[in-house]
């Protein structure tokens, strides 16, 4: 007589990595992530966020990654996010992080952010009124409040009549399309020192990358995402750790105000620029990315390993 022992199948935690149709296999920067998750005993899957055939309830956790088109379909994207169980980052956070008006609200709490003039479609501004809201000198930036990947951003010179005229047309077109506009002075120190991104994983400041200046004079991005040039990737210094903790406290204070509770973020990228030597602020926050911001996983093997570890912790929470 043969005796059959029942073998209990141990199922793996399923991690679905969310992308868009432009990057059906994730962006190149994230190509190594599925293998890194398999090495940790997880079962990775890749799915396009607006694919109607995907069963999102089938995953242990669902992680937002290459959703570069979310700003083009923001309302539909947010509706989708609120239907996905165990989505990271959480859908309640995407509502506010998908519209850069959050920077003004964080500034009101005291976080140093780049001073911004907001132009709204409902103001019905004519071209002369738009003109009067631009800086009188220096370079400045125009970008939509809802954008991703650098779409719709432009750098202009206030003192150059041709450049200023182009800026007026840019802002007027965006407002006519119903999009809110941000007008910000261009920090000249970016041209010499670039920008810095601090990456947080599960609430901890984990690493940083230095980015070369991306907005040269007369730069204008339209429908395409804007490539980023990394000059160096390295561990966070003691000074940056201090800045990172200050930024983290403001972010979580803000989250609590917006949602009524604190939330542990799986990932969070904060783009900052150093203040000038005579500036009382040591740094300014340019943007906070909880949705599709690159985490520069291919810049260092450590980055990939740290992000895979952070996902594994949350999958087995």
pLDDT value at 78 more than 50: yes
Report how far residue 60's alpha carbon sits from residue 57's, in angstroms, rounded to the nearest whole number: 8
- The answer, yes or no, to whether residue 223 has pLDDT greater than 70, is no
CA distances in angstroms from 254 to 72, 198, 286, listed in the order given: 26, 18, 16
Bridge-based pairing of strands 181-185 and 139-144 is antiparallel
Q: Which residue has the tokens 């088109």?
A: 69
Tell me the mean pLDDT in the region 106-121. Answer: 95
102-107, long-range: CB < 8 A, 24+ apart: 102/254, 102/288, 103/285, 103/287, 103/288, 105/254, 106/250, 106/251, 106/254, 106/285, 106/288
pLDDT for res 11 = 64
pLDDT at 193: 75
Identify the CA nearest to 289 among candidates 94, 70, 118, 143.
94
pLDDT tens figures, 165-186: 999 999 999 999 999 999 999 9
Q: What are phi and psi of 117, to 5 degrees?
A: -105, 125
Instruction: Give the CA distances from residue 279 to residues 174, 283, 284, in Å, rounded to whole numbers and listed in that order.
Output: 32, 9, 10
Global pTM value: 0.89
pLDDT tens by residue, 273-317: 988 888 888 899 999 999 999 999 999 999 999 999 999 999 999
Half-sphere exposure of 167 (CA within 13 A, CB side): 34
């Amino acid at each position: 007589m043969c005796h059959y022992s029942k073998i209990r199948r141990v199922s793996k935690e399923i991690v679905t990595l969310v992308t868009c149709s432009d990057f059906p296999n994730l962006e190149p920067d994230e190509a190594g992530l599925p293998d890194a998750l398999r090495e940790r005993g997880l079962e990775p899957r890749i799915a396009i966020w607006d694919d109607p055939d995907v069963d999102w309830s089938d995953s242990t956790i669902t992680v937002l990654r290459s959703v570069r088109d979310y700003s083009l379909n923001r309302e539909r994207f947010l509706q989708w996010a609120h239907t996905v169980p165990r989505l990271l980052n959480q859908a309640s956070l995407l509502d506010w992080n998908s519209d850069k008006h959050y920077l003004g609200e964080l500034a009101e709490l005291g976080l140093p952010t780049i001073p911004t003039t907001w132009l709204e479609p409902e103001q019905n501004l004519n071209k002369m009124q738009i003109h009067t809201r631009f800086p009188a000198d220096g370079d400045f930036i125009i970008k939509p409040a809802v954008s991703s990947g650098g779409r719709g951003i432009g750098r202009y010179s206030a003192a150059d009549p041709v450049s200023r005229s182009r800026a007026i047309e840019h802002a007027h077109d965006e407002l006519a399309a119903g999009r809110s506009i941000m007008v910000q002075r261009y920090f000249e120190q970016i041209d010499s020192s670039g920008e810095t991104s601090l990456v947080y994983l599960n609430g901890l400041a984990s690493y940083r990358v230095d980015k070369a200046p991306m907005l040269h004079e007369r730069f204008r991005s339209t429908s395409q995402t804007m490539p980023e040039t990394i000059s160096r990737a390295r561990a966070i210094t003691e000074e940056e750790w201090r800045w990172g903790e200050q930024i983290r406290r403001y972010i979580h204070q803000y989250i609590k105000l917006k949602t009524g509770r604190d939330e542990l973020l799986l990932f969070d990228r904060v783009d900052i620029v150093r203040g000038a030597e005579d500036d009382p602020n040591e740094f300014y926050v340019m943007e906070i990315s909880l949705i599709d911001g690159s985490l520069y996983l291919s810049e260092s093997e450590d980055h990939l390993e740290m992000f895979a570890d952070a996902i594994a912790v949350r999958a087995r929470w």
